[in-house]
Amino acid sequence: MKKTNKFQWGKWLLWLAIGSLLCFGSFIKEDSVTSKISISIKPPSSHFLSKKKVLEVIEEIKLTRPQIFNDKEVDLKSLERNLDQISFVKKANVSKDIEGHLKVVIDQEIPLARVIASTDMQKYICRNGTLINLSKEFTARVPLITGKGTEKIFEKNYFKRKKGRMLLDFLHHIENTPRWKAQFAQITIDEKHNMTIYPQVGKEKIEMGKPNDFLKKLDKLEKYYKKIIPTKGWGTYSNVKLQYKGQIVCE
């Protein structure tokens, strides 16, 4: 009799434990609805987009485009296309894991410069030559481009033309060269596409001319900083001209 009672008592405890686990599992499932969407933003060093912003857009898509989130399946490609419309999103990749949870990976656009037209229109110039609006979330530390020649930058297919490609190559070089990225604060462009650089350190203007042969011109600027500045001192010259072949003109 005692053995039977012990067996029944053990059986009852087992069912109680199983029931508790089921209830706990149900509780976790209900409590972690938002965790079913995993969001990753690359590169993490840029802060134009937040996970909160991406999640808000997904929730808005759920309400305004219910066909993407139906009861049976999520239309991943349609969701990607909608996320691609967010400013600063270069490409969105959406997938599902084996448990059916959404995994969202966002590649951000990387600005190379900030351009301001005479009409006060402002845009970021991205690596692929696209122009995107400024962000309320974050301000990029990139060179500022001003001047009358900036009007052309806003023209359609500007960066597909020769002058636009040269400027974009120049901006890429600045981005990838730490000393120039730290030194070049502002670039003005005139109607003939001549560039003048205003550095972070020093009061001189640096005339580059057109962006062609910019590597040779930057080599001359390197010589100016390493050979002329140490002997003449900072503030001796107000204008450094690099556009002339084989020479550096300091005034």
pLDDT of residue 72: 67
pLDDT of residue 71: 61
Cβ–Cβ under 8 Å, residues 75 and 135: no
Whether the link from the prior residue into 66 is cis, omega within 30° of 0, is no
Output the DSSP codes for 123-135. Answer: EEEETTS-EE---
Burial readout 193-226 (b: 16 or more C-beta within 10 A, e: otherwise): bbbbbbbeebebbbbbbbbeebeebbebbeebee
Kindly compute the dihedral angle of the four CA atoms of residues 161, 126, 141, 243, in this order, to the nearest 10 degrees. Answer: -20
User: Which residues in the chain are classed under CATH 3.10.20.310?
Assistant: 34-108
CATH top-level class of 111-250: alpha beta
Measured between alpha carbons, how far is 36 from 24 in angstroms, rounded to an integer?
17
Q: Which fold has domain 34-108?
A: Ubiquitin-like (UB roll) (3.10.20)
User: Which residues in the chain are classed under CATH 3.40.50.11690?
Assistant: 111-250
Cα distances from 139 to residues 3, 49, 118, 123, 229, in angstroms, run 75, 11, 21, 12, 33
3-class SS at 207?
strand
Q: Rounded to the nearest 5°, which phi and psi values hold at 157?
A: 65, 25
pLDDT of residue 121: 86
Report the candidate in 110, 113, 90 with the shortest Cα–Cα distance to residue 174: 113
pLDDT of residue 12: 56
Measured between alpha carbons, how far is 12 from 14 in angstroms, rounded to an integer?
5
pLDDT of residue 27: 36
Over the stretch 22-68, which tens digit does the pLDDT of each residue have? 444 433 333 333 348 888 888 876 777 888 888 888 888 887 887 77
pLDDT along the chain (251 residues), means of 10: 52 53 40 61 78 86 78 80 86 86 88 88 91 83 93 91 94 95 95 94 92 94 94 92 92 92
